[in-house]
A and B are shown apart, each in its own frame.
Chain A
């Protein structure tokens, strides 16, 4: 990719309101996740407020739980878990998807046949069900284990998309040229194919990021989340378990779900924005 082309993408990226909105929303939550835990005075697990549940106030911005825990303190810590799962889980899924998809698409033949079969099989299995039974048998679960489980089960569709893309790139002139000039496969993939797929890879990662967050929320809500911290999904689980609905304690369950919705929604909108930037046909004029 030459500089002129890069500048053109940058130009359209900056002009694209979808990308801008996405970046702002993600940025705000990311900053909150990074510095939020430093701002709160209360231990998220401590029963800070002896009078139990309280609606939002200047002392407790998001109110307190049934047990008097600071919801805001839990919320910002949960945001950290959310971003961690998105980056690590989504990243791992993208990585596996890229390796499998590249290999299948580039090598073709029997390698492709086997990998594609594997991809399709894992694609059919409802991964959440697998995650549930694995998690159910583990007594102690860390957030890193959760990331790995999610990454290991979420890659198939990324692999499919990357495989199709590699197929189409493989037959292009510049790859032929590289082949005839005796470049090694490894070099061709990283020098010739990967740069041309960069946009595609970023978009895949964005979608996997969002998917991992939603998957983690599901696991956590069922009570199979990490056992050593708090996450947004777990906050919702506790809220439902302790009757926040019937008691009208909306401040307990609204923020975590709303945050997930906004983060994942921003990611989806960014994905569309990226598509418009890299696909001139879709650009707004």
Chain B
């Protein structure tokens, strides 16, 4: 197991009270796994991704354990986490367009960043240049300022930088959403290539775009309102989902592989609950077509088939 998360619970501290952004979360990822993390905005997918590497107030650690390659990550301790960041766990942020210091040449910035982490820039330079070639960037970008690069170039540059120290886990946060369709595909494929080359052992790809995940992810984890809904292999999630929310989510998408959308997008009636004071039990039950009395208790996230987990009383019971 590459990543093992047990009962992780993250809240947001606000003046109006605690926002229960991530409820007791337990799941694991295999070595080499690219896991898609999907859901509507505000479902906690970004909270989950960020809490693993950079948990800054108002994010608040409420409990749980994160093991990476068998070693516990002190995610609640901003200082102690520094040792793990970049080297063991890394991130390609959503804001990759603005992620680099605008007044430093890119090479200089990288050298200063590596120096501050005790890594010799000169020694790593040949490898850096090789990887730039892999993402089709000329080595001359190291002598440029970020403003001289296009959006797609910056995205690829950040990808190379974030994975330069071969982290065990890479968190890729909405890496394709700022790009045009052609670059989206290229960037997504580069990520797979990076995994294949061993630049990162496994990766969590946070996105709201399931079609991208269909192309690159080995498995998909669906979240709803701060709770895990379903995790399974990509094929299973797309073609044989079991959680009612996943079913509605997948059916609301234009069918993958079919070019013309003959089927009307249905969408899901209702809105996700507010997480400041969320309903007890399954948070999807207000909108769920199959909800019953039991759903006022929170359903456990159980394995119904090897590698297929769901949190639903109906589906879990009938098949467990």
Contact = CB atoms under 8 A, between A and B. Distances in A.
Interface of A: 11-12, 15, 285
The interface centre, meaning the residue of B13, B15, B57, B58 with most chain A CB atoms within 10 A of its CB, is B15
A15 B14 CA distance: 13
B42 to A, nearest CB: 16
Contact of B13 (A11, A12, A285): A285
Interface string B10-31: 0001110000000000000000
A11 B15 CA distance: 10
Contacts of B57: 285
Determine the main DSSP class of A at the interface with B. helix
A11 B14 CA distance: 13
A126 B58 CA distance: 45
Contacts of A11: 15
Nearest to B16: A11
8 contacts: A11-B15, A12-B15, A15-B15, A285-B13, A285-B14, A285-B15, A285-B57, A285-B58
A15 B58 CA distance: 18
Contacts of B13: 285
Shortest Cβ-Cβ A-B pairs, 8 listed: A285-B58, A285-B13, A285-B57, A285-B15, A15-B15, A285-B14, A12-B15, A11-B15
A141 B68 CA distance: 77
Interface in B27-68: 57-58
A285 B58 CA distance: 7
A15 B16 CA distance: 12
A69 to B, nearest CB: 51
A10 to B, nearest CB: 13
Given A12-B15, A15-B15, A285-B57, 5 more contacts: A11-B15, A285-B13, A285-B14, A285-B15, A285-B58
Contacts of A12: 15
B73 to A, nearest CB: 24
A285 B14 CA distance: 7
